[in-house]
Amino acid sequence: MRGPRVLTAGLAAALACGEPAPAAFPEPEPPDPPPSPAPPRPAVHLEPVDARDADLLERWPSLAHYPRVPPALASGLRARDPAAIFRGLELAFEPDRWAEVDAWERLGHIRLAEPAGFCRTDAGRPVRLSSGTYDLGCLGGFLEGVRLLWLPRLELADLVPCEPPGGFESCRDGAQAGRAALLQIAARLPEGVLPRGLEVLDLRLAELGPEALIAALVPDVLHLCSVSHRARARGGERMYHHMMIVDPARDRLGRVHVFDTTGAAGVAWRAMRPERLHSYARRLLALHDTFRYDPDSAQLSCLPVRPPEAEVTGP
């Protein structure tokens, strides 16, 4: 049995899901500059939730730790409108996006239990991020989307319970973390919101073109998805290493929408043409210096889930 430090390190590596920085061309090495302190992180001012939104905090406790709850997010939550919620999430974190792709906390997430707030996992233990740091890894951002739409009190530890007793057997080194998260969510959702039950759609992108990929998704529902590839550096082992929420409904330009959390874009609600989504999942997310993912092995594994029914409450 591997110790928690090994599992944690593997999970962090498996879910290193930012878009990589472009490769730089070699240049002549300049003289060594004098040492200088690292530039300070820009100051961030926490905007507390308006007192009139106490009902929101009661229903969605992770909001208490957001840097701000913009009106668009508050109204989207009251209406239970997924697109407005995802856009509101983007607005909540947009001013605090981290400056560099590789400077983010890959397992940054909001913890509800003590220590509560923005944490990362170190050797199996939650560690608070520094004050004013609101970084979310792709699993942490995905968790917020799931919390605000379906399971407000879900914890990151519930998504990937890799430790015994009752741990998910295939969490070895985090390779199966993304698929484990989908199955754990499915087990906690009411049966009525799962149009395909506990079935996870495994869509191999080498066999499905962009339009066929969208056609394979269930219409009129959201899809909780994990992107996976086979890792050349791990003997071809499949690793589920990125999380996103996909809405296959087309806009007037034929685009679908993706709620995503990456190092380059931060927390984002993005419109993508099918060709862009296909290329993003197959090739761009395959770029990883350590695992050297095979683009031709790309797979999108999705759990179809009905969005919450619309309602209007509160002020």
Residue pLDDT, tens place only, 40-79: 544 555 555 565 578 899 999 999 999 999 999 999 999 9
Task: Measure the CA–CA gap between 264 and 269, rounded to whole angstroms.
Answer: 13
Give the confidence band of 313 by pLDDT, cuts at 50, 70, 90. low
More confident residue, 42 or 208: 208
Beta strands in 176-315 (DSSP E): 201-204, 222-231, 237-247, 256-262, 266-272, 293-305
Q: Is the pLDDT of residue 272 over 90?
A: yes
Q: Where are the alpha helices (DSSP H) in the chain?
A: 4-14, 54-59, 71-79, 82-93, 138-149, 156-159, 177-188, 210-216, 274-282
Are β-strands 237-247 and 222-231 bridged in parallel, bridged antiparallel, or unpaired? antiparallel
Q: Closest by alpha carbon to 80, among 315, 314, 313, 308?
A: 308
Give the confidence band of 99 by pLDDT, cuts at 50, 70, 90. low
More confident residue, 114 or 23: 114
Q: What percent of the chain has pLDDT over 70?
A: 73
112-121, 123-132, 295-304, 305-314: lowest mean pLDDT where?
Answer: 305-314
Supply the pLDDT for residue 239.
93
Phi and psi, residue 31, nearest 5°: -60, 150
Q: Is the pLDDT of residue 209 over 70?
A: yes
